[in-house]
Structure 1
């Protein structure tokens, strides 16, 4: 199996996001526009990435029955295996970062991350606003 090589942490994070989102939401074979909204990236980015992932047999794109111009995206068995591998890598990496932390510190980090996530998802801010 070919391993994906990343030149930067951002590349790893983007690839992992594209696999992780399918791992949770692509089980229902959404349209690329739904993937775009879920990842909060432009649809052209999603289209290019999904084509590359299809070339690597990580996802399958089938014509949408209600609109033949669009596609439904689903993970392949290879894509699910790669997702499990990346998630295991991420967990191990995270454990390494927290190795010297006390349990209470790790719980506090978790609580703060959850609080931040709720604040960002509940704000209704779609990220398209311009701030002066």
Structure 2
């Protein structure tokens, strides 16, 4: 998991360098929004989809909705909450399945170069202890 976080930080640094020549602190929220909108390969969903159970509406979505006039009809609060709960459950279940598949794929790649090693009593080995 540490590698994924480091990869995210590296991506964010590159985006900051490309996007924000001056006033980088003003661009961070926009870049974070952009990175949270992109589906992650291992999960198959964007972080926003996993947290909010729907695609978060950004500026372009709002403009598109206004132009196409496809605004959804109002619904009761109870109906909204029930739909939200169902969507969250289904999304998390699919994300777990996708993550399991990604882990299986990573194991296959790792196992291609892994070699079975057997040790006998009396063999010399190097043991590294983490403190």
* TM-score, length of structure 1 as denominator length: 0.30
Structure with larger Rg:
2
Which protein has the bigger strand share?
A: 1
* TM-score, length of structure 2 as denominator length: 0.30
